[in-house]
Amino acid sequence: MTNPRSRADIHFNGGWPSNGLEAGKFFPGKQVGLTDPDVPTDVVSGPKPVPPDGKIASGGSEPAGAVLDEVRDWPKVDLPSDTEVPFQWNFSMKHRTRRYNYFVTKEDWDPRAPLSRAQFEPEPFATYKPYDDLPYWDMPEAKDDPHLDKPHSVKLPVRSGYHVILGVWEVADTGHAFYQVIDVNFTR
């Protein structure tokens, strides 16, 4: 994710391939073989599992991506709380897209602990679905999809101070998703 800049984009100066942060879809679920709750004709999750707790920022990517899971003082992006902000993903490989889910850390999260499901709100604060429930075979070919190269607007949650946003790009025609985290300093 290049806007707001993700931990991966900042750490690797834009040089980390997004497919390096690929894992199973349907976070916060943990199982392989899950069916899409909205479009059961999509490809089920897997064969890669959803990233385990402690490896969410890297999408479970080893060894190069493991640095993204480190607990340290990450550079923070200033974002205004409770406003709409454009989010832009950069793709090294395009896929037919089911949705983008955005999760935020809970009010009482512990920034000194590894990122885990318990640190995030259980439901996304925002979801962007470019094709609603259209079967993936009726979507445009990914290489021709105009939505993939444009930002989409995300309404940020009400928060203040340091939090982490987890963006999950769920693919419709594979069993995978791509994971990005943004270290945010929410302003009012």
Distance CA 69, CA 65 (A): 8
The domain spans of the chain are 7-187
Query: For residue 20, what pLDDT is reported?
Result: 63
| Residues 87-101: tens digit of each pLDDT | 999 887 889 999 999
Distance CA 174, CA 53 (A): 23
Query: For residue 147, what pLDDT is reported?
Result: 86
For residue 140, which of 177, 79, 95 has the smallest C-alpha distance? 95
Cα torsion for 152, 158, 163, 168, to the nearest 10°?
-30
Query: For residue 13, what pLDDT is reported?
Result: 76
Model pTM above 0.85: yes
Query: For residue 146, what pLDDT is reported?
Result: 87
Query: For residue 178, what pLDDT is reported?
Result: 94
| Residues 118-148: tens digit of each pLDDT | 999 999 999 999 998 899 999 999 999 988 8
Residues of the chain with pLDDT under 50: none
Torsions phi, psi for 77 (to 5 deg): -100, 125
Looking at CATH, the fold of the domain delimited by 7-187 is given as Coagulation Factor XIII; Chain A, domain 1 (2.70.50)
